[in-house]
Amino acid sequence: MEEITGRITGQLTITHDVILRGTVQGDAWVTGGATLTLYGLVAGDLHVDEGGCAIVRGTVSGAVINKGGRVQVFGTVGEVTGFGSTHVDEYARVIR
């Protein structure tokens, strides 16, 4: 599993399993077959495509948009929308 730290300007597309401890200054996309474990910050929206997986332990400033993937929220997100398997932990924070 790859680990990403530091700051990424613009959109990030996740095509394989990644642990993100840094900051994405834009949107992030998780494609089918990939898993993102987020401990850092996505300053835009987080899109999870069909077959993708996102485990949010950090912060998503915008929306988490589930497009048929698997989403688990334990951290802070702007909102959660879409369809697919979505779990929001009782201690998670959803702003909207």
As a whole number of angstroms, the distance between CA 96 and CA 79 comes to 5
User: Residue-wise pLDDT tens for the chain (96 aa)?
Assistant: 899 999 999 999 999 999 999 999 999 999 999 999 999 999 999 999 999 999 999 999 999 999 999 999 999 999 999 999 999 999 999 998
Question: Cα dist. 67→22, 33, 36, 72, 84 in Å?
Answer: 24, 13, 15, 14, 6
pTM of the model: 0.96
The pLDDT of residue 19? 98
The ranges assigned to domains in the chain are: 2-88
Can you tell me which residue has the tokens 């999870």? 48
